[in-house]
Amino acid sequence: MFASCADPETLSGLSWLWCYLTTGKHLAFYGAFGTVLLLLAVTAPVALAFGFGGAVAARSRIAPLSWLGRAYIAVVRGVPDIAFFLFFVIALDQGIEWLRHKAKCPDWDQPIRQGSDFVVCAEAKMPLSTSAQWVHEVYGFWLAVFTFALVFGAFAANVLYGAMRAVPQAQIETAEAYGMTRRQVFRRITVPQMWVYALPGLSNLWMVLIKASPLLFLLGVEDIVYWARELGSTKTPQFTAYPHGDWRMWYFLFLLVFYLAFTRISEIVLDRIMLRLSHGQATLGSHKRTGPIGMNKAGPP
């Protein structure tokens, strides 16, 4: 990419390293960090929305809805998250294609499942086999976002469910005494009040979400783990201008340091937010979070 890098064989020492670290593939590696950050930025609010929906459903007075909400929370929390990732990446894909198949090819008479094959008509393929590479990548990314949101939504639902119940009963009763309906109480009292109770759990969840982000690799997205394995493996002079031995250990050490820095910074920021929000609030949360790494953990490690 730089003029001085035109002939790598003449380079040595730091200039070799500089040219090595700025090859096209390395730039893709650095770009993959952007993908991870984007995934986190998009997933967090979506997961929160799922969590809100789950918590409201679990609290519902309509029994089937309440069972549904509780089952969502219990099942997702009871099964390893990685199993969900592996499951949804195929299941969602097949589900979407099945729906499109039903809608677009109504006169198709063969069965969709033929032994070990899943056959839908060409128009129902998602994305279409004619579409560009970037469409496939964007589609894969959105499947990943949805899967992450679904799994972490259950954890968020658990936190928000607890937070809604932690709102002091006296406040609810006061609101009722003012003649508010159930719906008004929920909107005007419960929801605004619950956040301070939810924050320790949610910040913990954010940490767990950060630490789950390398699982993107299992969803087939070309993320940092993919590139670290790819770039670090032994390169022979036949295939690259920059031959080297097995450097995967160093690449993963770099990822380790990246994640340590990321979680540490998140923690400092979240502690500040907590301090600010709990100013003047007589909750245990305002004093409880001590120690450099935070106290509790309520998610998959």
Partner 1 sequence: MSCYDTLMEYGLRSLGYGERLLPRSDFTLCQQVVLIGSGMIWNVYFGVVALLSGFALATALAVGKASRSAWFRKPAQWVIFLFRGSPLFIQFFFAYFLFLSLKGQVPAFDALTSAWLGAAVVLFFNTAAYSGEIFYGALQSVPKGEVEAADAYGLSGWSKFRRVVWPTTLRLAWPAYTNEAIFLFHATTLVFFSGFPASRQQGDALYYASYFADKTFNPFVPYPILAGYFILLTLVVIGVMGLIGRRLNRHLPDAAGARRRGGFRTIFR
CB of 88 to partner 1, least distance (A): 8
Q: Is residue 286 within the footprint of partner 1 (CB under 8 A)? A: no
CB of 24 to partner 1, least distance (A): 24
Pick 65 or 86: Cβ nearer partner 1: 86
What is the sign, positive or negative, of the torsion defined by CA atoms of 277, 279, 281, 282?
positive
CB of 4 to partner 1, least distance (A): 31
- The Cα–Cα gap between 4 and 164 comes to 61
The residue within the footprint of partner 1, chosen from 214, 230, 277, 285 (CB under 8 A), is 214
The residue within the footprint of partner 1, chosen from 15, 60, 94, 283 (CB under 8 A), is 94
- The Cα–Cα gap between 73 and 55 comes to 9
Binding mask 46-85 for partner 1 (x = CB under 8 A): ------------------------x---xx-xxxxxxx--
Number of residues that bind partner 1 (CB under 8 A): 56
Q: Where are the beta strands (DSSP E) in the chain?
A: 113-114, 117-118
The residue within the footprint of partner 1, chosen from 16, 20, 108, 118 (CB under 8 A), is 118
- What are residue 280's phi and psi, to 5 degrees? 75, 0
Pick 11 or 215: Cβ nearer partner 1: 215
DSSP states along 186-253: IIIIIHHHHHHHHHHHHHHHHHHHHHHGGGGGGGT---HHHHHHHHHS-B-TTT-SS-B---HHHHHH
CB of 211 to partner 1, least distance (A): 4
Q: Is residue 145 within the footprint of partner 1 (CB under 8 A)? A: no
CB of 56 to partner 1, least distance (A): 17
Tokens encoding 1 = 């990419």
CB of 255 to partner 1, least distance (A): 5
3-state secondary structure of 290: coil
From residue 199, alpha-carbon distances to 170, 268, 296 in Å are 21, 14, 12
Q: Which stretch binds partner 1 (CB under 8 A): 60-68, 187-195, 271-279, 291-299?
A: 291-299
3-state secondary structure of 118: strand
Q: Which stretch binds partner 1 (CB under 8 A): 18-26, 48-56, 173-181, 225-233?
A: 225-233
Q: Are 69 and 57 in contact (CB under 8 A)?
A: yes
Q: Are 78 and 155 in contact (CB under 8 A)?
A: no
Can you count the helices (H) and strands (E) in the chain? 11, 2
The binding site for partner 1 (CB under 8 A) comprises 70, 74-75, 77-83, 86-87, 90-91, 94, 113, 116-118, 158, 161-162, 210-215, 217-218, 225, 228-229, 232, 246, 248-249, 252-253, 255-256, 259-260, 263-264, 290-293, 295-301
